A = this chain, B = another copy of it.
Amino acid sequence: MIKVFLTAMFMSVMFAEKAMAEDAPITANVVQTNMDFLWTLLGAILVFFMQAGFAMVETGMTRAKNAINILMKNLMDFAVGSIVFFCVGFALMFGSSKGGIIGTDGFFLKGLIEDPWNLVFFMFQVTFAATAATIISGAVAERIKFKVYFIYSILITAVIYPIFGGWAWGSLLNGSGWLEGLGFIDFAGSTVVHSIGGWAALAGAIVLGPRIGKYGKKGEVRAIPGHNIPLAALGVFILWFGWFGFNCGSTTAASTDIALIAVNTNMAACAGAIAAMLTVWKKFGKPEIGMSLNGALAGLVGITAGCNNVSPYSAIIIGAIAGVLVVYAVLFFDQKVKIDDPVGAVSVHGVCGAWGTIAAGLFDKGGFDTHVVGVQLLGVVACFIWSFGLSYAMFKTLDKKMGIRVSRDEELEGLDVGEHGGNAYPDFGADYI
């Protein structure tokens, strides 16, 4: 007990000294640095929360019998993605590179963890990598094997996302990127994150084929409505909330720039929601909710590339066009080319990501410049070729090696039972399936 007292006394002295040290004058630069850490971490936290948003949107927009499966995919693509991006992806994206093609150092954050900036920057970037990964889960919902999705999550966060990401953003840390070298504008990732995810989702949906019952024998299209619309709406609100971190946090510095970015982000989302609602209202006679929710997301994806270099007026236009676009894109994939994408991920993230990237060139506050728009188009095309091409090859390979789709019986019964041995709503009776 005496020892305790003595130690306690010693501690008191230490604390007193610490208090005095804290009162020592510090420079404004140190405070700004601390704030940049705070802001970047806050952005990461908000973007992390988007995982909950994706989980709710995708669960709500699909059937009850597959709810556990979708939640597990969302949980695991983040968990696996974080570990894989830590080990491999971050190095390929931000490591030193010759010619801006591929990073070559920093695997397992080797040599990086000593500088806390690298850690907070990693924290921010890992949530972006996981966002790209999770976009796919909605498009391949209700029929992909869990094991395959697990493997694919590794591949996208280890290879597909980071290498392209390095082309556009590599110089943010130690690397460089050939696309950014050309002047490619993608402030927060309309292409780098959303289109990468969207085109990978397209590949997955094509290789898998449509869900049983989606298209009739005579080619008629059947709607398969989502089972829990309040959860889907909650998910969209969560995504919108997190998107402020996604776009504003991409400054990775606390500056007055965040004001314009936030206003642009919000106005585009609003315009997208309204435009999509009005489009579907006019087209089908009623303001349908699924399209309206996707309209908000479309506006958000659309403004992501240019949120820092367009005016609020342009943001409204960009968002509104995205809102109209997403409706026609969903109809195109769903009814024209008959690619079954249960939540519209390809349209929201792929198509509107491409639109947003081009729009960042078209509406650049610096004025219209054909060269700039050309580079934007180049980035959009490069993204499609890289992500769709590689993903298609990978899904095809996985399909040959192990089969990527669950059995017909399992699909009919629901993946919750077949893949996870569970039931998302056991108290509500078996009749909910």
Contact = CB atoms under 8 A, between A and B. Distances in A.
Interface of A: 1, 4-5, 7-8, 10-12, 15, 23, 25-35, 37-39, 41-42, 44-46, 48-49, 51-52, 55-56, 59-60, 63-65, 67-68, 71-72, 74-76, 78-80, 82-83, 86, 99-100, 108-109, 113, 116-117, 119-120, 122-123, 126, 146, 171, 176-178, 180-183, 225-231, 233-234, 236-238, 240-241, 244-245, 248, 254-260, 262-263, 266-267, 269-271, 273-274, 277, 284-290, 292-293, 296, 311-313, 316, 419-429, 431-433
A260 B228 contact: no
23 contacts: A4-B182, A12-B176, A30-B32, A35-B38, A38-B39, A38-B254, A41-B258, A48-B266, A49-B237, A63-B427, A64-B427, A65-B427, A79-B269, A83-B271, A117-B256, A119-B259, A119-B260, A120-B259, A227-B427, A227-B428, A428-B431, A429-B429, A429-B431
Contacts of A37: 254-256, 258-259
A266 B124 CA distance: 11
Nearest to A24: B29
B31 A266 contact: no
A426 B222 CA distance: 14
B432 A429 contact: yes
Contacts of A59: 230, 233
Contact of A76 (B30, B240, B292): B292
A131 to B, nearest CB: 14
Contacts of A245: 45
Contacts of A229: 67-68, 71, 422, 424-425
A404 to B, nearest CB: 17
A274 B81 CA distance: 11
Given A86-B312, A117-B259, A230-B59, A428 B428 contact: yes
Contacts of A182: 4, 7
Given A41-B258, A80-B270, A422 B233 contact: no
Given A37-B258, A45-B241, A263-B122, A76 B274 contact: yes
A11 B181 contact: yes
Given A1-B99, A274-B76, A289 B256 contact: no
A306 to B, nearest CB: 15
B109 A312 contact: yes
A233 B72 CA distance: 9
A4 B263 contact: no
Contacts of A237: 49, 51-52, 55
Contacts of A51: 237
A99 to B, nearest CB: 6
A111 to B, nearest CB: 13
A277 B153 CA distance: 15
Contacts of A431: 428-429
Contacts of A79: 269-271, 273-274, 296
A133 to B, nearest CB: 13
A429 to B, nearest CB: 5
Given A230-B231, A233-B55, A41 B259 contact: yes
